[in-house]
A and B are shown apart, each in its own frame.
Chain A
Amino acid sequence: MRRLLNCAMRLYPREWRERYGEEMEALLEQLEPSLATGWDLVLGALKMRLRKQSVQITLAFGLLGTVLAGGLLWWVPPRYISEATLIQQGGADQAALTNLLASVMPKVLSRRALSKTIQELDLYGEQRKVEPMEDVVETMRHAISVSQMTGGAGLIVRFVYPQQQRAQAVVDDLVRRLLEENLQSGRAQTLELLDPPTYPHNPIFPNWRAMFATGVAAGLVVGAVIARWRALRLG
C-alpha cells in the first residue's frame, strides 16, 4: 500500500514534487496507508497538473482563435474595388458637373441598363437564383459609387465585387455608358477618361492581417480567462 502511495506521489508535476515532495513524504510516513489517502493524492496530483496547464490552455485557445479566423477568411467572400477617373474637358465646373450627373445617372443606373450588364457579365449568379432581378439590381446599385472630385474637376467611378475581373469589367461598362449618355445629352461640357478602370490585386475586405491578429488576440484572452477560472475553481 505504501508503494502505491509513492506511485501516486509521482503523478504530481516535477516542479511541485521538488518543492513539496520531501515534506509530503515525511507526512505520508506518519499516516496509516489507506485507499482514501491514495485517492486523495491522485485527485490532488490531477488538480496540480491542471493548474500547471494554464499556459497550454491559453495557447490552445490562441491557436483556436487563429483557426477560426482562417475559417472565417475562407468562408467570407472577398470584395475587390475597381475604379476609373473621368475629367471634364474645358476645366472644373462643379455646377455643370452636378447638372450633368442629374441628367445622365438615372439612365446609367436604370433597371434596364443594369439588368443588361448583370446578364452580359454574369454577375450575382447565386443571388439571381433565389431573388428577383429587381433585388439584384438594387444590390448592384449599392455596390456602385460615382463621386465628384474636389471642385468639380471630374468623376471617380467605383464598383465593389467579389471577383477582380468582373469588378473591372463593370467599371469599364459604366464609364462607357456615362460617356455615351454625356454625348447624347447634348450639353456643352463633355467627360474624358483620365484613368481607365483599375485591376484590383488586393481585396478591400477582409483584411487577413487584421482578422488573424484579432483571432489570435481574442483566443489568448479567452484562454487566459478560462485558465484563470479553472485555477481558482480547482484550487
Chain B
Amino acid sequence: MTDPPLLLLTSLADGDKHGYAMMEDIAAFAQVKLGPGTLYGAISRLEEQGLIVPLDSDDRRRPYRLTAAGHAHLREQMARLQGLVKVGQSRLRHA
C-alpha cells in the first residue's frame, strides 16, 4: 500500500499529528518514505475533500486531525483492501 492519502489517513487514525510526525509514523508502519512535496500534496487534497482538518497551533508545525468523513472513508478503504487481501490469499492457496 503506497497511496499517500491513504497512508496519511491511516497515520492520523490513532491521533493528531503534524507533517514531520506523519512522515516518521508512515516510514515506521508502512516502510514508505514520503517526500515533503508528496506529503503536502496529499494533505492539501485531503483537506479539500474534508477528510482531515488543520488544528490551531502556536508552533509553525500545524497538526492535523481526521474528520468523521475521514474516519468513514478510511474504514471503507480498509474493508476494500481486506476483501482484496482475502481474494489474493485464497487464489495463492489454490495456485
Give chain A's interface residues, CB within 8 Å of chain B: 16, 19-20, 22-28, 30-31, 36-37, 39-45, 47-48, 235
Contact = CB atoms under 8 A, between A and B. Distances in A.
Interface of B: 4-5, 18-20, 23, 35-45, 59-62
Give me the 8 closest cross-chain CB pairs, A-B, nearest first: A44-B37, A40-B35, A26-B60, A40-B37, A41-B37, A27-B19, A23-B62, A26-B61
B61 A20 contact: no
Given A16-B44, A235-B45, A27 B37 contact: no
17 contacts: A20-B44, A23-B19, A23-B60, A23-B61, A24-B36, A24-B40, A26-B19, A26-B60, A27-B23, A27-B36, A40-B35, A40-B37, A41-B35, A41-B37, A42-B37, A48-B41, A235-B5
Contacts of B45: 235
Contacts of A22: 60
A49 B59 CA distance: 27
Contacts of B36: 24, 27-28, 31, 37, 40-41, 44
Nearest to B35: A40
A20 B35 contact: no
Nearest to A5: B36
Contacts of A37: 35-36
B19 to A, nearest CB: 4
Contacts of A28: 36
Contacts of B61: 23, 26-27
Contacts, number: 62
Contacts of A25: 60
Contacts of B60: 22-23, 25-26
A235 B41 contact: yes
B20 A44 contact: no
Residue among B38, B41, B42, B43 with most chain A CB within 10 A:
B41
Nearest to A11: B37
A73 B75 CA distance: 54
A235 B19 CA distance: 18
A28 B20 CA distance: 9
Contact of B38 (A19, A26, A44): A44
A23 B35 contact: no
A44 B45 CA distance: 12
